[in-house]
Structure 1
Amino acid sequence: MIRTTKIMLAGLVAVAAAGLQSCSSTSAEEEKTPEKQPVVSAFLLTEGALSDTLSIPGELVAFQHVDLYAKVSSFVKRLYVDVGSEVRAGQLLAVMEAPELNAQSEGAQSRVRSQEAVYLASKATYDRLLETSKTPGTISQNDLDVAKARQQSDYAQYQAAKAALQEVHDNRNYLEIRAPFSGVITARNVSAGAYVGPGAGAVPMFTLQEQKKLRLVVNLPESNAGVLDQNGSVRFTVKSLPGQHFTARTSRVSGALDNRLRAQHVEMDVPNADKKLLPGMIPEVQIPLQAGAAASFVIPGSALLNSSQGVYVIKIMNGKTVWVPVQTGVQTGGKVAVYGALHKNDTLVTTVTEEVRNGAPADGKIVL
């Protein structure tokens, strides 16, 4: 029994010794295995430019649009056009009547004739006195000056009467409403016999629009206002004409941002001789965008750091990570055009986070 116990103790000691030897060898192997260094993915910066297309709703408006009002208080005598009528510039649209203008005209003509007679009398008096004054001692200089002043005063009154008569005639001309440009009557708000006139609350007699040429109006967001191709063309579609594409060329750019929308007002001229397009339509506009004139660099979107302090890229320089502030341009297909204190072949970190501190050592293996 004692012999068996000794044999078991010897076996346990051997097993323990073997375990200790195994542990010591494993620890030695772990100490000999070098620690793996983190891999930092980076790339060399290259110059380039991005282009993109911005899809934005717009509005089609008439190239010219005007509401026609009555200039003088009167009654509609006759209408020559209606809604949908195509008119030419200068065409007669309506005629009004105002009987009181006839009386005003006759009164103004009477005043003109009266003032003319007074002026001719004072002129004749002055001419006679002037002729008589040539004989020394017959007419005093004071009498001659008074006669001349009277003649000039009567002449001024005569001219004022003529101006009043011309005003009445001009008001009578306002009884005819004519088209200021060629277009289409899109609204008629009066009928024959209706009372019309100027003043607050007056209703326009007609609305005239030029439709053979339209304006495509869009408000370009501030983020894209600086990269618009101001000499390029745009394509657009309208819901009422599916499958049809239309083209317009950029014609007018406001050059400023709207204070309310913070957007830039842009207009394009759209030929519309067949009148397929109508004012008031809301088209979907495809606006090509271009990079700015300054040299830009193209980087992947993962290399752009948007922090609370601004927008940065992280450059590896002299073994350290450096945050470089940049401005962004066109963004498309996971790529971003950036501008800033960068140079060609700079080494930038491909995937950035705020955990990469500014000025920290660039530990790890850099893989381009």
Structure 2
Amino acid sequence: MLLTVAACGKEAAQPKRPPALVEVQPVRVDSFSDMIEAVGTAVANEQVVLSAPVTERIVSLNYSDGGFVRRGEVIARLAQSQEAAELAGAQARAREATQQLERIQQLRQRGFATGASLDAQVAAANAAKASAAQVQAAISDRVIRAPFSGYLGLRTVSPGAIIAAGTPIATVSDISRIKLDFTIPETQLSLLSRGQTLRILSSAYPDRIFEGTVATIDSVVDPATRSVAVRAILPNGDRMLKPGMLLTVKLLARERRALSVPELAVIGEGDRQFVYLAQDGKAKRVAITSGVRQDGKVEVLSGLKAGQQIVTDGVVKLADGAPIRVQGEGGQGGPSGGSGGSRPATAR
């Protein structure tokens, strides 16, 4: 008699646990794609630092800070008075040698000059012309011209200054388009190809998305980092992008349709992943193989079928086979309906 009373008291002390209140969603089919994301540095389409070829005094500077120059325009002139005088003398000697050559040619035709004297005068005339051309080249070196159209940087020298050979005079940048260099892991190399469109983001313009095109993929993978260099080309007609800016590259590749579940529904244990199916009023634990995660969704490669109901909220309190009650179904899935379904919702 005492044993029976004790057993009844033990059962009364441990009432049956009510079903867990959960939310469910069907397994859907959504769009997924592989994402390549990298950062790179903007480079001008063409950029050059023009330097003084010789040590000389600056006579004039024909540009202002940030000004635009066209190809062939004179940017600076260095002193060339000495070279101009040397050129005049070299040209005079060249004319004299040419005139002497003409006289010897006439004498040779009349038989009064030898072939050796004619050859010597031809050599002398050619040497005089070469000397004049050399001086002319030295004068040309003292006129600094823009090699292509572009914008000039900040001026750091002034007229009248004597500058040494190699001293920078001006920087010319063609920013009509921008080259963007970045690297990607070799594991993503198959996702990239020439001509693909890229989305480019800049922290300087957070509300704008720039577009570029993959122009070149390096033919060599860096063995130290196992990455490959890529160059993209971005139109820059409004000149908003500047060389040296840090830009973020995003590329969507392998767009596809696949089964999808919310990230909150997936439970990870080591390298394995599970979800709970809502089936016959109980939670059934199912292993899945997942793909990419995108916008709060997980791509499901295997383990589920479209339309199956999975638990999306309340998974942390579930175990395989545990009774559940779906929120909003008035107690369905629990041992009783009606008022029995409202108490767990109040407790939550």
Q: So what's the TM-score if we normalise by structure 2?
A: 0.60
Q: Find the aligned partners of 1:85 and 1:121 in 2 and give their Cα distance.
A: 55
SS in 2 for 1:90: coil
Q: Which residue of 2 aligns with 1:312?
A: none
Q: Is the 1:73–1:98 contact (alpha carbons within 8 Å) kept by the matching residues of 2?
A: no
- Say whether residues 1:286 and 2:268 are aligned partners: no
Q: Which amino acid aligns with 2:236?
A: N
Q: Is the 1:51–1:288 contact (alpha carbons within 8 Å) kept by the matching residues of 2?
A: yes
- Say whether residues 1:153 and 2:117 are aligned partners: no
SS in 1 for 2:168: coil
After superposition, the Cα gap between the structure-2 partners of 1:336 and 1:215, relative to the gap in structure 1 and judged at 3 Å, is farther
After superposition, the Cα gap between the structure-2 partners of 1:261 and 1:77, relative to the gap in structure 1 and judged at 3 Å, is farther
Gaps of 5+ in 1: 1-49, 131-143, 292-301, 306-330, 338-368
Deviation at 1:287, TM superposition (A): 2.4
After superposition, the Cα gap between the structure-2 partners of 1:113 and 1:225, relative to the gap in structure 1 and judged at 3 Å, is same
Per-residue CA deviations over 1:198-227 (Å, capped at 9, x if unaligned) read 4xxx22211110122111111122222233
Q: Find the aligned partners of 1:120 and 1:336 in 2 and give their Cα distance.
A: 93
Per-residue CA deviations over 1:302-321 (Å, capped at 9, x if unaligned) read 9xx9xxxxxxxxxxxxxxxx
State the aligned residue count: 235
SS in 2 for 1:122: helix
Q: Find the aligned partners of 2:226 and 2:83 in 1 and give their Cα distance.
A: 52
The two structures, once aligned, show a CA RMSD in angstroms of 2.9
Q: Which has the larger radius of gyration?
A: 1
Of 81, 86, 89, the residue aligned with 2:71 is 89
Q: Find the aligned partners of 1:167 and 1:262 in 2 and give their Cα distance.
A: 51
Per-residue CA deviations over 1:141-181 (Å, capped at 9, x if unaligned) read xxx7xx11220221121012112212212322232222121
Q: Find the aligned partners of 1:270 and 1:207 in 2 and give their Cα distance.
A: 21
Of 169, 184, 198, the residue aligned with 2:151 is 184
After superposition, the Cα gap between the structure-2 partners of 1:111 and 1:243, relative to the gap in structure 1 and judged at 3 Å, is same
Q: Find the aligned partners of 1:211 and 1:194 in 2 and give their Cα distance.
A: 30
Of 188, 191, 198, the residue aligned with 1:227 is 191
Per-residue CA deviations over 1:264-311 (Å, capped at 9, x if unaligned) read 2211111111122111111111123449xxxxxxxxxx9xx9xxxxxx
Q: So what's the TM-score if we normalise by structure 1?
A: 0.57
SS in 2 for 1:188: coil
Deviation at 1:260, TM superposition (A): 5.6
Per-residue CA deviations over 1:81-130 (Å, capped at 9, x if unaligned) read 12211222222212221222022112212321332244234323322217
- Say whether residues 1:168 and 2:142 are aligned partners: no
Q: Which residue of 2 aligns with 1:332?
A: 292
Percent of matched pairs sharing the same residue: 27
Deviation at 1:51, TM superposition (A): 4.0
Q: Find the aligned partners of 2:46 and 2:223 in 1 and give their Cα distance.
A: 25
SS in 1 for 2:101: helix
Where is the strand percentage greater, Structure 1 or Structure 2?
A: 2
Gaps of 5+ in 2: 1-31, 256-267, 272-290, 302-348
Q: Find the aligned partners of 1:288 and 1:173 in 2 and give their Cα distance.
A: 52
Q: Which residue of 2 aligns with 1:68?
A: 50
Q: Find the aligned partners of 2:157 and 2:95 in 1 and give their Cα distance.
A: 39
- Say whether residues 1:272 and 2:236 are aligned partners: yes
